[in-house]
Amino acid sequence: MIGTSVSGNLPRPQELIAKTRAYDRAKITEEELEVAYFEATKKLIEGQAGLTHVTDGLLKWQDLLRPFTMGLGGVSLGPMSRWFNNNTFYKVPIIEGPITYKGSVTERLGYRRLLPKKATLKVVLPAPYTFASLADDRHYDDTTKLQTAYAEALNKEMKHLEKQGYGYIQLSDPALVYVATKPLKKELKAYSKVLEVATEGVKSKTCLQTFFGDAADILPEALAYPVSDLGFDIYETEPETLKRLMLKGGISLGVVDARNSTVEDVGEITAAAREILKTLKPKDVYISTNCDADFLTWENAEQKIGLIVQVAENLKRGD
């Protein structure tokens, strides 16, 4: 199959931005802000109508890690830090004690009830390597132990989401390929065991989505990871790296750049995807953005979603 989705969260529309700013300045109430979130989420879901895999936009997530930072036991909110090589920031999770799962960390932030019945419901969660890399560990003093403890909590969250009807769970793992945080080769095998903990007993499809860095260094080890699909940022990873892969599952191709407002040429992007797929035999193919889309305005992201749909149609038709 050829699926389509956005690899991460969506941007807040300008009207919601105005409301959040007003709320921040104590000019509107929490109830008024909630109405704005509700309306914006509806708008974003409508905007994803052409996609096979749809999220609720994750508009309330202040950063990818925040629901876990705020919701897990043993973790507290730390100082602000740069989100990889972007002009955006996240708050560092401080690991102060054993990580414990106290119930769903994402449910109260989501709009499950607004999601369509026809599409596959998708959710995006931080992968263990990225969570551990970006955390300030004051308890475990051992990265693998921290990753594993987080993976156990993540597993519970994934199972909860599965019960809620989410058929596709993306684990975002930018730190795994980012130049300043990527692991040593010898750490890549150990990470497979951590992912086993995270995905154990999860029946929904899973994707380990890499972005912000060249995936060449995690290959071929990542091919053995216990996930349904692997995702790549084609603006960071050369097609040549991917052409030779012996995939056992599916591939998510981040061929639409969510860090540039340019709406790419559909023919060109189709050709880039086809070039990679010429020699690959993936179970499934997903055409997507290379990363989260909240680096763009919503209007711009909507154009990019349209492009994703067109590229997938071209590939299906063999154009």
Partner 1 sequence: MAKLFETYEIGSLGKQAWRLKGYSGAKLTEADIFEAETWGERLGIDYKPLIKLLKGNASGKRQQVVNWSALYAVKMFEKLGLDYVYTGEQWREEMYAHVAKNVEGFEFTGWIKSFDYRYYRKAAVVGEIKYHDPFYIDEFEYIKPLTEAQIKVPITGPYTMTDWSFNEHYWRKLSKVKSLKERKSRARRELMLDIVDKVLRPEFEKLITAGTKWIQIDEPALTTQPTVEEMSLFVEAWNRLVTGFPCRFSLHNCYSDYGLLARYAPDLKRCQQLSLEFANRDTKSIGRKRPAYDLIRNFEDHGYEGSYAPGFVHVHTDEIATPEVVRDRILCVADIAGAERVFVAPDCGLRTRTWEVAYKKLDNLVKGAELARKAY
Among 20, 76, 144, 192, binds partner 1 (CB under 8 A): 20
For residues 33 and 284, the answer to whether their CB atoms sit within 8 Å is no
74-150-80-43 Cα dihedral, nearest 10 degrees: -110
Q: What is the DSSP letter of 12?
A: P
Phi/psi at 276 (5° precision) = -70, -40
- Residue 200 or 268: the one with the smaller Cβ distance to partner 1 is 268
Single out the segment in contact with partner 1 by CB under 8 A; choices: 6-14, 138-146, 152-160, 281-289. Answer: 6-14
Report the C-alpha gap between 204 and 218 in whole angstroms: 24
Q: Does 5 interact with partner 1 (rule: CB under 8 A)? A: no
Shortest Cβ 152–partner 1 spacing (Å): 28
Report the C-alpha gap between 258 and 256 in whole angstroms: 6
Could you say which residues in the range 136-175 bind partner 1, by CB under 8 A?
A: none
For residues 1 and 282, the answer to whether their CB atoms sit within 8 Å is no
Single out the segment in contact with partner 1 by CB under 8 A; choices: 14-22, 70-78, 127-135, 305-313. Answer: 14-22
- Residue 120 or 133: the one with the smaller Cβ distance to partner 1 is 133
For residues 25 and 43, the answer to whether their CB atoms sit within 8 Å is no
Q: Does 12 interact with partner 1 (rule: CB under 8 A)? A: yes
- Residue 39 or 152: the one with the smaller Cβ distance to partner 1 is 39
Among 37, 47, 63, 288, binds partner 1 (CB under 8 A): 63
Contacts of 115 (CB under 8 A, 6+ apart): 45, 54, 56, 121, 165
- Residue for token pair 């308890």: 139
- Residue 22 or 152: the one with the smaller Cβ distance to partner 1 is 22
Among 32, 34, 200, 265, binds partner 1 (CB under 8 A): 265
Report the C-alpha gap between 137 and 145 in whole angstroms: 11
Q: Does 82 interact with partner 1 (rule: CB under 8 A)? A: yes
Among 26, 31, 117, 180, binds partner 1 (CB under 8 A): 180
Q: Does 238 interact with partner 1 (rule: CB under 8 A)? A: yes
Q: Does 86 interact with partner 1 (rule: CB under 8 A)? A: yes
Q: Does 11 interact with partner 1 (rule: CB under 8 A)? A: yes
Q: Does 32 interact with partner 1 (rule: CB under 8 A)? A: no
Q: What is the DSSP string of 226-245?
A: SSSEEEEETTTS-HHHHHT-
Residue 118 burial class via C-beta count within 10 angstroms: exposed 0-12, middle 13-18, buried 19 and up: exposed
Among 68, 225, 286, 295, binds partner 1 (CB under 8 A): 295
Report the C-alpha gap between 51 and 287 in whole angstroms: 10
Contacts to partner 1 by CB under 8 A: 11-12, 14, 17, 20-21, 23-24, 62-63, 80, 82, 85-91, 179-180, 214, 234-239, 255, 257, 260-262, 265, 268, 272, 294-297, 299-300
